[in-house]
């Protein structure tokens, strides 16, 4: 049992895990650690053990746990107004949309809550745009997506997942999606027709194992969309907001999307905040009553989102992701051929494929946990490494040292 700063105490790790197991639905398989407190890149479990967070809530914690500027913005807003519904205006919404649009070089913002909702919103907007602007016959619009995609968990989104675990038993599925291999220009070109409303891509596929497409692929996707009069939708929910260096991962390629979906870090790890940001003429197809969300764009979410934008306006986190990311990739690269078969990624974000015959991803994650580093495997044998962008170089090295100890084979 541990006593915390506020005088509360906790029961044991085993008791709390048993409680989770008994009462919460088993739609996750967490590591056996029970977190009670966190600050910056560190979390503390109920027994007082500290760990470096090398997952960052799948990039929802790009600015670390409880970043002082974000907590201050949230507290300030808690003392003013937290929810109005969109039935009324409030004094944070317009400012949030303006500031986010300016940061991302876009014209309009549609705020939502979860990432999946932002993706759903972009799909609806693209379909309506296709019928009303492009002139595709009603009910025939197609959206081209990539294999191994991850865009969320709704029934429509899992309809075009290629991950059987995410999809099986959840049909009947939403039609209107065409799946092509990721990174394959020819396949993308062949899939786009006059019925294509949009191409939806992750600039880096996160859940798939931090897959960076071949150079030129995203630029070619832009050209193909232009030629066909289709929209390019970039899902930057995980890759965006400085994780790979620039505000948007597409910026690496000098490519602009028509719509961006943003989420995760947009809520600063405090509240769920997502958005579609993009062209005014495309988002402009929505009329009152056609789409919405009770909590979307609420004052608290907007205040936190504005504080996130202010952090990104300094450029500090973009710089940290680039510099620390180069260091991370240089060090992880040395493990290739020594227990690691491949390392991919961009910025402070890496997918580390464990060599066949060695540790499973789960076993490696558990061994890292025992050494005070939390990260999580994806697809069996890939470790996903995404420390908060506030981590120091020494802390980063400490985590990489642990990875090296766990996975290195001479």
Ligand X SMILES: *Cc1c(COP(=O)(O)O)cnc(C)c1O
Catalytic residues: 150, 235, 264
93-104 helix and 299-313 helix, angle to the nearest 10 degrees: 30
d(Cα 60, Cα 267) in Å, to the nearest integer? Answer: 7
Beta carbon nearer to ligand X, 58 or 349: 58
Beta carbon nearer to ligand X, 10 or 349: 349
Minimum gap (Å) between residue 140 Cβ and ligand X = 26
Minimum gap (Å) between residue 129 Cβ and ligand X = 20
Beta carbon nearer to ligand X, 208 or 364: 208
Query: Counting every residue, how long is the chain?
Result: 410
Beta carbon nearer to ligand X, 206 or 351: 206
Residue nearest to ligand X (CB): 115
- Tokens at residue 141, please? 């619009």
Beta carbon nearer to ligand X, 213 or 263: 263
Minimum gap (Å) between residue 142 Cβ and ligand X = 20
Minimum gap (Å) between residue 409 Cβ and ligand X = 31
Backbone torsion region of residue 240, taken as left when φ is above 0, otherwise alpha when ψ lies between -120 and 50, otherwise beta: beta
| Binding stretches for ligand X (CB under 6 A) | 58, 114-116, 119, 150-152, 202, 206, 235, 237-238, 263-264
Minimum gap (Å) between residue 24 Cβ and ligand X = 17
Any idea what the Cα angle at residue 326 is, between residues 339 and 239, rounded to 5°? 90
CB 384 within 8 A of CB 353: no
Beta carbon nearer to ligand X, 116 or 233: 116
Minimum gap (Å) between residue 68 Cβ and ligand X = 24
Minimum gap (Å) between residue 134 Cβ and ligand X = 25
Beta carbon nearer to ligand X, 321 or 402: 321
d(Cα 323, Cα 311) in Å, to the nearest integer? Answer: 17
């Amino acid at each position: 049992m541990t006593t915390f700063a506020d005088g509360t105490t906790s029961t044991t790790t085993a008791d709390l895990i048993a409680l989770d197991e008994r009462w919460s639905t088993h739609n996750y398989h967490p590591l056996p650690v029970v977190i009670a407190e966190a600050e910056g890149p560190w979390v503390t479990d109920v027994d007082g053990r500290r760990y470096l967070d090398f997952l960052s809530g799948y990039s929802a914690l790009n600015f670390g746990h409880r970043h002082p500027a974000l907590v201050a913005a949230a507290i300030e807003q808690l003392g003013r107004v937290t929810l109005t519904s969109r039935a009324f205006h409030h004094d944070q919404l317009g400012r949030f949309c303006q500031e986010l649009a300016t940061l991302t070089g876009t014209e309009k913002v549609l705020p939502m809550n979860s990432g999946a909702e932002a993706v759903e919103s972009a799909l609806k907007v693209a379909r309506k745009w296709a019928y009303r602007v492009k002139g595709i016959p009603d009910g025939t619009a197609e959206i081209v997506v990539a294999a191994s995609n991850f865009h969320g968990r709704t029934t429509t989104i899992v309809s075009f997942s290629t991950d059987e675990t995410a999809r099986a038993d959840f049909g009947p599925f939403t039609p209107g999606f065409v799946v092509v291999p990721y990174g394959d220009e020819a396949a993308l070109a062949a899939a786009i027709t006059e019925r294509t409303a949009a191409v939806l891509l992750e600039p880096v596929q996160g859940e798939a194992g931090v897959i960076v497409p071949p150079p030129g692929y995203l630029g070619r996707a832009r050209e193909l969309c232009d030629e066909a009069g289709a929209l390019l939708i970039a899902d930057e929910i995980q890759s965006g907001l400085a994780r790979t260096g620039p505000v948007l991962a597409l910026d690496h390629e000098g490519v602009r999307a028509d719509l961006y979906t943003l989420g995760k870090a947009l809520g600063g790890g405090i509240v769920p905040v997502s958005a579609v940001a993009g062209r005014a003429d495309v988002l402009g197809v929505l009329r009152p009553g056609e789409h919405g969300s009770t909590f979307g764009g609420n004052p608290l979410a907007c205040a936190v989102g504005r504080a996130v934008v202010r952090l990104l306006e300094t450029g500090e986190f973009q710089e940290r992701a680039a510099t620390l990311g180069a260091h991370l990739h240089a060090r992880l690269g040395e493990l290739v051929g020594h227990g690691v078969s491949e390392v991919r990624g961009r910025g402070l974000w890496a997918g580390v494929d464990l060599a066949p015959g060695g540790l499973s991803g789960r076993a490696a994650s558990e061994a890292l946990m025992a050494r005070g580093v939390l990260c999580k495997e994806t697809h069996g044998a890939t470790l996903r490494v995404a420390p908060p962008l506030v981590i120091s170089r020494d802390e980063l090295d400490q985590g990489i040292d642990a990875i090296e100890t766990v996975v290195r084979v001479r």
